[in-house]
């Protein structure tokens, strides 16, 4: 029997689902499973934290899989699976629609609960999957068989990770999934043993519970999937999220506090506050906003990340020094935010030519620029140089120009930008739907620093 501290018992009393909440969630799940069984086209199965009793109070999400025979073609699975999913959802609500991951599924809101109804194949083992979601039922069975005695540890870890901002394997978070949290607790034998081990982690840490890894991985944290020896469960965890978990583990072990488990209130910034902040920083802020591409976060966010990197490089090539940049995807609009140390430049710039010993190219360079009204060509450090006119003298003109479409953007980001984008400067960057994102942009700090500042 694990001996809990008074603090841990206090947190558990708050995050364990209570009877009414549990009855509501389980009741909806039973209704859907009964409806699936009554139709008889596929076997219904509840997966995820609801099935494993590892869900934290307030998490009102149910994942229900429709298991079809693996002899079905992929096209037939999508056609029959989606038809059945829509039929099931329609029995309980008119609030449902299709969403897309590797293949489509139905999202529905039933009795205030978010429900995903996902068609998949009922394969013999996780090593014979025909689509990525086929592996999920095996995860549920594996954890369900072993989780007794560790459920409270998983709840503590999930709440700990949520408060630290590192919970979730989505593209925005790049953190710890629920399944990964469960595996870490099982491997180390509890919440505190995990923290003690994590406090000493280094990039390249490998955890292989079943000792069956069938390939090598190069991610910072490697947790071999117990049901699939060729998969790293921690593949989504970025180096920063891993190190933030290490920092949080050390901080909690050194000085436990309730603040490690209490989610902070969302911080919003007003337009006036933004104006004052920018005046204090003496830096320049620019926002590029455009319509969100009609795809799921897993597709759009990596493209936003890539686009921000490319635009930063574009700014730097043109002389505008980037101090910090980030991105945010909202349902209808996306924002790329850039804080620059330099936003205006002189009309002239230096243009370096070839060395004089590269005779052919050097003579071509000199001939090309003979008629220039700017100084040069002149010789410096053995090569020709010229003063030339700068294409963009302000960062805003660069960001608003068609040149933005010529950098290495994500496919769907480019398509959306082709339909138009807005460039705002300074306090004009403020928009209500991005108020929290802008506040976080200027309040960067490590999770442990954030905990200490809240005490």
Q: Tens place of pLDDT for every residue, the chain, 455 residues?
A: 578 999 999 999 999 999 999 999 999 999 999 999 999 999 999 999 999 999 999 988 999 999 999 999 989 999 999 999 999 999 999 999 988 766 789 999 999 999 999 999 999 888 888 888 999 999 999 999 999 999 999 999 999 999 999 999 988 899 999 999 999 999 999 999 999 999 999 999 999 999 999 999 999 999 999 999 999 999 999 999 999 999 999 999 999 999 999 998 889 999 999 999 999 999 999 999 999 998 888 889 999 999 999 999 999 999 999 999 999 999 999 999 999 999 999 998 888 999 999 999 999 999 988 888 888 898 999 999 988 889 999 999 999 999 999 999 989 999 999 999 999 999 999 999 999 999 999 999 999 999 998 86
Query: Does a structural domain hold residue 303?
Result: yes
CATH number at residue 96: 3.30.460.10
CATH number at residue 363: 3.30.70
Q: Token digits for 258?
A: 């309730």
- 171 & 219 share domain: yes
- 208 & 87 share domain: no
Decide: 317 and 309 in contact? Cβ < 8 Å.
no
Can you tell me the distance from the alpha carbon of 2 to that of 194, in angstroms, rounded to the nearest whole number? 14
Query: Does a structural domain hold residue 316?
Result: yes
Query: Does a structural domain hold residue 422?
Result: yes
Q: Which residue has the tokens 């996306």?
A: 334
Query: Does a structural domain hold residue 195?
Result: yes
Q: What are 338's strand-pairing partners?
A: 286, 325
Query: Does a structural domain hold residue 430?
Result: yes
- 429 & 313 share domain: yes
- 319 & 433 share domain: yes
- 302 & 427 share domain: yes
- 305 & 325 share domain: yes
Residue 357 is part of which domain span? 349-389
Flag whether the pTM goes above 0.85. yes
Query: Does a structural domain hold residue 140?
Result: no
- 103 & 167 share domain: no
- 206 & 227 share domain: yes
Query: Does a structural domain hold residue 146?
Result: no
Report the domain count for the chain: 4
Q: Which of 102, 134, 166 is the C-terminal boundary of a domain?
A: 134
Q: Which residue has the tokens 């001996």?
A: 3
Q: Which of 260, 286, 311 is the C-terminal boundary of a domain?
A: 260
Residue (of 413, 397, 414) closest to 405 by Cα position:
414
Can you tell me the distance from the alpha carbon of 66 to that of 368, in angstroms, rounded to the nearest whole number? 69
Q: Token digits for 354?
A: 């070839």
Phi, psi for 296 (deg, rounded to 5): -70, 165
Phi, psi for 8 (deg, rounded to 5): -65, -40
- 102 & 158 share domain: no
- 441 & 334 share domain: yes
Q: Which residue has the tokens 């930008």?
A: 417
pLDDT value of residue 351: 87
- 358 & 217 share domain: no
CATH number at residue 436: 3.30.70.590
Query: Does a structural domain hold residue 10?
Result: no
The three-state DSSP-derived secondary structure of the chain is CCCCCHHHHHHHHHHCCCHHHHHHHHHHHHHHHHHHHHHCCCEEEEEHHHHHCCCCCCCCEEEEEEEECCCCCHHHHHHHHHHHHHHHHHCCCCCEEEEECCCEEEEEEECCEEEEEEEEECCCCHHHCCCHHHHHHHHHHHHHHHCCCCHHHHHHHHHHHHHCCCECCCCCCCCECHHHHHHHHHHHCCHHHHHHHHCCCCCCEEECCCCCCCCCCCCCEEEEECCEEEEECCCCCCHHHHHHHHHHHHHHHHCCCHHHCCCCCCCCCCHHHHHHHHHHHCCEEEEEEEECCCCCHHHHHHHHHHHHHHHHHHHHHCCCCEEEEEEEECCCEEEEEEEECCCECCCEEEEEEEECCCHHHHHHHHHHCCCCCCCCCEEECCEEEEEEECCCCEHHHHHHCHHHHHCCCCHHHHHHHHCCCEEEEHHHHCCHHHHHHHHHHCCCCCHHHHHHHHC
Decide: 174 and 276 in contact? Cβ < 8 Å.
no
Question: Exposure of 232 by Cβ count < 10 A (0-12 exposed, 13-18 middle, 19+ buried)?
Answer: buried
Q: For residue 150, what are the contacts with CB-CB under 8 A and spacing of at least 6?
A: 182, 185, 186, 190
Phi, psi for 103 (deg, rounded to 5): -145, 165
pLDDT value of residue 136: 93
Q: Which of 240, 260, 280 is the C-terminal boundary of a domain?
A: 260
- 46 & 114 share domain: yes
pLDDT value of residue 1: 59
Q: Token digits for 389?
A: 């006119």
Q: How many other C-beta atoms can be found within 10 angstroms of the C-beta atom of residue 235?
A: 16
CATH number at residue 162: 1.10.1410.30
């Amino acid at each position: 029997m694990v001996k809990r501290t008074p603090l841990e018992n206090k947190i558990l009393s708050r995050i364990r689902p209570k009877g009414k909440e549990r009855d509501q969630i389980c009741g909806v799940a039973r209704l859907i499973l009964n409806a699936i069984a009554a139709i008889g086209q596929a076997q219904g199965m509840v997966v995820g934290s609801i099935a494993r009793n590892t869900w934290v109070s307030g998490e009102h999400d149910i994942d229900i899989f429709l298991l079809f025979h693996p002899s079905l073609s992929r096209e037939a699975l999508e056609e029959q699976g989606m038809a059945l999913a829509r039929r099931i959802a329609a029995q309980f609500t008119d609030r449902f629609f299709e969403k897309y991951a590797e293949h489509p599924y139905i999202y529905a809101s039933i009795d205030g609960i978010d429900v995903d109804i996902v068609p998949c194949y009922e394969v013999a083992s996780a090593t014979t999957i025909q689509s990525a979601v086929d592996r999920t039922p095996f995860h549920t069975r594996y954890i369900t068989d072993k989780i007794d005695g560790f459920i409270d540890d998983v709840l503590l870890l999930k709440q700990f990770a949520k408060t630290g901002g590192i919970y979730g394997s989505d593209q925005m978070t790049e953190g710890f999934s629920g399944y990964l949290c469960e595996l870490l607790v099982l491997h180390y034998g509890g919440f505190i043993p995990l923290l003690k081990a994590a406090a000493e982690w280094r990039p390249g840490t490998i955890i292989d519970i079943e000792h069956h890894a069938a390939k090598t991985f190069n991610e910072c944290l490697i947790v071999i999937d117990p049901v699939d020896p060729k998969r790293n469960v921690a593949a989504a965890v970025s180096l920063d999220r891993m190190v933030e978990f290490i920092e949080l583990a050390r901080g909690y072990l050194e000085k436990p506090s309730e603040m490690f488990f209490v989610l902070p209130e969302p911080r919003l910034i007003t337009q006036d506050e933004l104006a004052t902040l920018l005046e204090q920083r003496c830096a320049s802020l620019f926002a590029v906003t455009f319509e969100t591409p009609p795809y799921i976060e897993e597709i759009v966010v990596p493209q936003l990340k890539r686009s921000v990197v490319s635009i930063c490089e574009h700014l730097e090539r043109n002389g505008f020094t980037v101090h910090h940049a980030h991105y945010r995807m909202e349902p209808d609009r996306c924002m790329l935010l850039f804080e620059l140390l330099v936003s205006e430049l002189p009309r002239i710039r230096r243009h370096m030519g070839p060395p004089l010993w590269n005779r052919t190219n050097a003579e071509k360079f000199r001939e090309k620029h003979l008629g220039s009204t700017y100084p040069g060509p002149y010789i410096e450090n053995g090569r020709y140089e010229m003063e030339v006119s700068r294409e963009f003298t302000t960062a805003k003109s660069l960001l608003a120009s068609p040149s933005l479409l010529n950098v290495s953007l994500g496919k769907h980001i480019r398509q959306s930008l082709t339909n138009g984008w807005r460039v705002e400067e300074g306090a004009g960057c403020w928009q209500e739907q991005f108020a929290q994102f802008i506040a976080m942009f200027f309040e960067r700090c490590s999770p442990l620093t954030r905990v200490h500042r809240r005490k």
